[in-house]
Amino acid sequence: MLPTVNVDAMVAFLTELLNIPSPTGDTDRAMQWLEEKFATTFVDAPLTQKQTPKGLLVAHWPGKQQNAPRGLTAHVDTLGAMVRQIKENGRLRITQLGSWGWTSVEGEGVTIFASNGQTYRGTILPTTASVHAHTSKERNAPRDDTNMEVRIDAHTTCEEETQALGIRVGDVIAIDPRVEVNDNGFIRSRHLDDKASIACMFGAMLAMAEAGLQPVQDSYFHISNYEEVGHGAATGFPSNLADLISIDMAVVAPNQTSDEYSVTICAKDSAGPYHMQLRRELEALAEANKLRYTTDIYPFYASDGEAYWRAGGDVRVGLVGPGVDASHHYERTHRDALENSAKLLLAYLLSE
């Protein structure tokens, strides 16, 4: 029987992490918080941590055996934006960090991290936002980087005034998460991809620590920081790694089997199939522990596990994760999905 997973602690962990901005390429704040959280939570566990030059965080938990080390990876980097141009009207033209639809961020609040260390608030808006100043045709034009801009909450009406604020081309812009935890178990927020998965990893680690247990194999808990641009987990693992479980959100949408209450085990995505034997082992663990799970295929998706494969990793790779609705938009999941995902990870870490 599996140890108890503290779902309340997972949700509290997730809420705090979601509220720390970490657009891809600017994840130091979140990585520092994670390192400190792991250090203070697992005081009595033999957990050692290090940050690599790339900015990855890797925690090592010694196992009963060392002949086939295992890795779990999830990414803390999120979607975001970067200043591409300071416009004549003082507003900002932006370029995407990661892949998102322009209509998905219309009207969203943002934080601009200026080059001089200051932060400013703002809003992503179409250049034809005002109903009282533009025709219906103008207001309903397709959205792209040429007709969307960031309105800065500062006194600026020209390029020179914005530059005087310390804002420069290349400055990072974080999109507000707008976290809401409901009494019925639903959690709404941007960036559940992939901070919900880090919460699941944390939940499995916490359950193991509170039960005084040790993983069967040497285990590496890997937090990547460039997944949204395709190379997050390409490095950071020991050379003798045998298995890698990528933990990432499961796609809840029409024509998918994934849902917001289950852990999903992915059979195949846009890069091809995952390791068949490892997938079958994960499915067997889910069934043996009576977890709510589903197996699914994602045609427009790739994971950090495949980044490691492409970098030459000779390991078995699997992909699991909690169901998340409306991926790369204003996302939603349920605490049941977090619990089932954490339990599957825990079962895997404790399995022979």
Q: Which residue in the list 227, 306, 331, 339 is annotated as catalytic?
A: 227
Q: How far is CA 139 from the centre of its chain?
A: 33
The torsion angle over the Cα atoms of residues 305, 311, 314 and 315, rounded to 10 degrees, is -10
Short-list 151, 136, 165, 200, CA closest to 337: 200
Short-list 230, 203, 268, CA closest to 72: 203
For this structure, is 227 an active site residue? yes
Q: Under DSSP, is residue 244 helix (H, G, I), strand (E, B) or coil? A: strand
Compute the residue count for the chain: 352
- DSSP character for 312? T
Residues 248, 250: Cα–Cα separation, whole Å: 7
Residue 10 tokens read as 């997972």
Which residues have a Cβ under 8 Å from the Cβ of 192 and sit 6 or more positions away?
18, 249, 324, 331, 332, 333
Helix axes 7-18 and 192-210, enclosed angle (nearest 10): 140
Active site residues: 227
